[in-house]
């Protein structure tokens, strides 16, 4: 059962629609009780980092989700700001992140030479998988996904970067550490590429 965490942010219905078309059981959880029996978790997110972290903490589900991820090793996929929340923190805010993947979220404009780069990074971009992460099974070549963001995840350890893209600089656009996965792009807006990635996550 794919369980999408509903803490008030993200286009949850788009994920539900994808999984229903794939005939993969899916549900939306907005309470601790609804998380019971979760076999896979999706943590969506849009907007500002601090706002997302606060909403997640206020949802009442954070402690249970952390237990599922760390104690029960339930695979989790963070998407867009949901991926950024996996980090230790962000240049965008002051609240600590979840710290599930060591690293910091940085602004593109904080990089020397990119002070005037157009923000946000928006639209389709090439994605190059690194290693053999199961999220990208079948996408070893010519993978393209839809992006909409102004911050990128800078991993503390290169081994946690599982895909890269380029916007002013080469940056990690997907991360993984044990049963924790994250993608900066929007698979739910990325046509067959995104459908394939969400299917791959369901099969992990």
- The answer to whether the CB of 4 falls within 8 A of the CB of 28 is yes
Q: Which residues have CB under 8 Å from 192's CB, separation 6+?
A: none
- CA distances to 33, 63, 75, 82, 192 from 71, rounded to whole Å, are 17, 11, 11, 20, 33
Dihedral class, residue 38 (left if φ above 0, else alpha if ψ from -120 to 50, else beta)? beta
Query: Hey, which residues are catalytic here?
Result: 80, 186, 188
Q: Which residues have CB under 8 Å from 48's CB, separation 6+?
A: 81, 92, 93
The order of strands in the sheet holding 151-155 is 89-90, 103-107, 151-155
- The answer to whether the CB of 88 falls within 8 A of the CB of 157 is no
- The answer to whether the CB of 149 falls within 8 A of the CB of 181 is no
- Phi and psi dihedrals of 181, rounded to 5? -130, 150
DSSP 186: B
DSSP, collapsed to helix, strand or coil, labels residue 115 as: coil
């Amino acid at each position: 059962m794919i369980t999408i965490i509903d803490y008030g942010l993200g286009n949850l219905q788009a994920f539900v629609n994808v999984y229903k078309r794939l005939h993969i059981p899916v549900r939306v959880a907005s309470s601790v009780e609804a998380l019971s029996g979760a076999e896979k978790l999706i943590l969506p997110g849009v907007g500002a980092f601090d706002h997302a972290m606060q909403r997640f903490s206020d949802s009442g589900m954070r402690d249970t989700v952390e237990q599922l991820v760390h104690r029960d090793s339930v695979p989790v996929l963070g998407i867009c700001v949901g991926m950024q929340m996996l980090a230790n923190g962000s240049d965008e805010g002051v609240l600590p992140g979840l710290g599930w993947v060591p690293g910091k979220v940085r602004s593109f404009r904080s990089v020397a030479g990119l002070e005037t780069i157009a923000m946000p990074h928006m639209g389709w971009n090439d994605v190059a998988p690194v290693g053999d992460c199961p999220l990208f099974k079948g996408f070893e070549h010519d993978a393209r996904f839809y992006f909409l963001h102004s911050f990128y995840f800078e991993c503390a350890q290169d081994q946690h970067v599982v895909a890269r893209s380029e916007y002013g600089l080469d940056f990690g656009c997907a991360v993984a550490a044990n049963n924790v996965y994250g993608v900066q792009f929007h698979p739910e807006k990325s046509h067959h590429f995104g459908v394939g990635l969400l299917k791959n996550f369901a099969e992990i």
